[in-house]
Amino acid sequence: MSTSQPPAAESAPPHVNAQLFERVNESAPAVPSEPEAMFEIDTTPVASPPAETLTVSAEELGPTGRPVREVPQPTPLAHHGPAMIIAMCNQKGGVGKTTSTINLGASLAEYGRRVLLVDLDPQGALSAGLGVQHHDLELTVHNLLVEPRVSIDDVLMRTRVDGLDLLPSNIDLSAAEIQLVTEVGREQTLRRVLHPVLDRYDYVLIDCQPSLGLLTVNALACADSVIIPMECEYFSLRGLALLNDTVEKVHDRLNPKLELAGIVVTMFDARTLHAREVMARVVEVFGDVVYDTVINRTVRFPETSVAGEPITTWAPKSAGAEAYRALAREVIHRSGR
């Protein structure tokens, strides 16, 4: 009796343990009842990015379970641009992606970097989180993508944070995927419209929608790197496989410079065993690709969404504000700008 052969396993990038992606890509796997079985993965060490200039304390361990490393304070820039483009991406919603985009951008601006935020989510949460009223928008990213006569300067907005600009969006953007699908070079549309202003900025952060459609592919096709905000829970870990597959396809077919810059763990609650176990497994598999900075759960972040400003200005001395400043220092240190 003949038997069907299982599908070929997806390949994982060199910095990621292949066994993890074989495991999480299995179709409809049963969730084990035992906590240890749920997270049983290969713990082969992963190559880490160089960190020779970091000061390491052998006594104090951070939330990642690694020794606390002090990242040097960023130095002022002699000039600005060209921008590093970072796609803030996770196809799973509710992981703190938009919150991280806003507050990382604001923190980078605090360190003297010029930052452009791109709202590439039709929900417009990034724009709303910066105090933009959707009904007041005459031009948005949607117009920029589908109307050749619209200039990026027509859409660009200044925020209340010095050095932080915004390309806003609203629900109109949901039509862009349908309108772009017949266009030649549709995956490169965002790259073309951003190109005229890249010399003005040091960083461009793109808030991707929680799906892997054409808009997200546009973000990955023009990005230098990807930062993945990840809630510290098991199904977020499984979702990395699908995102990795998309990133690898874009790297191979559209954007050979695309790389994974880092994973930032959000909504972390050290009081729960589940969160600590997932954190340990993520660090085992991804090594120093995981940022040392961890964003803990706090009621402050919903408050800032209502206020329409970053936590760095709404509650500048809060633990959440300090966490995003620490993340900004890590991003600057790794990128060298």
Tens-binned pLDDT, residue by residue, of the chain (337 aa): 444 454 444 444 444 544 444 444 443 344 444 433 333 434 444 445 554 455 555 457 888 889 888 899 999 999 999 999 999 999 888 888 999 999 999 999 999 999 999 999 999 999 999 999 988 899 999 999 999 999 999 999 999 999 999 999 999 999 998 999 888 889 999 999 999 999 999 999 999 998 888 999 999 999 999 999 998 888 888 777 778 788 888 999 999 999 999 999 998 988 889 889 999 988 998 899 999 999 998 777 888 877 889 999 999 999 999 999 999 999 999 998 8
Residues in CB range of 295: below 8 A, 6 or more apart: 96, 100, 229, 264, 265, 266, 267, 268, 320, 323, 324, 327
Q: Is residue 4, in this structure, part of any structural domain at all?
A: no
Confidence (pTM): 0.82
Q: How far apart are CA 167 and CA 158, in angstroms?
A: 9
* Residue 219 resides in a domain: yes
Q: Quick one: which of 136, 120, 176 has its CA closest to 308?
A: 136
At 303 the pLDDT is: 82
- Domain range for 221 is 78-335
> In 89-135, which ranges are E strands?
115-120
Whole-angstrom CA distances from 283 to 67, 89, 162, 208 are: 13, 19, 35, 24
Q: Per the domain annotation, does 325 fall within a domain? A: yes
pLDDT for the residue 27: 39
**207: helix, strand or coil:** strand
- Domain membership of residue 262 (yes or no) is yes
For residue 212, tell me if it sits in a domain: yes
> Do residues 118 and 154 lie in contact, with contact meaning Cβ atoms separated by under 8 Å?
no
**CATH number, residue 221:** 3.40.50.300
Count of domains in the chain? Answer: 1
Structure tokens of 174?
């949901």
Q: How many CB atoms lie within 10 A of CB 127?
A: 28
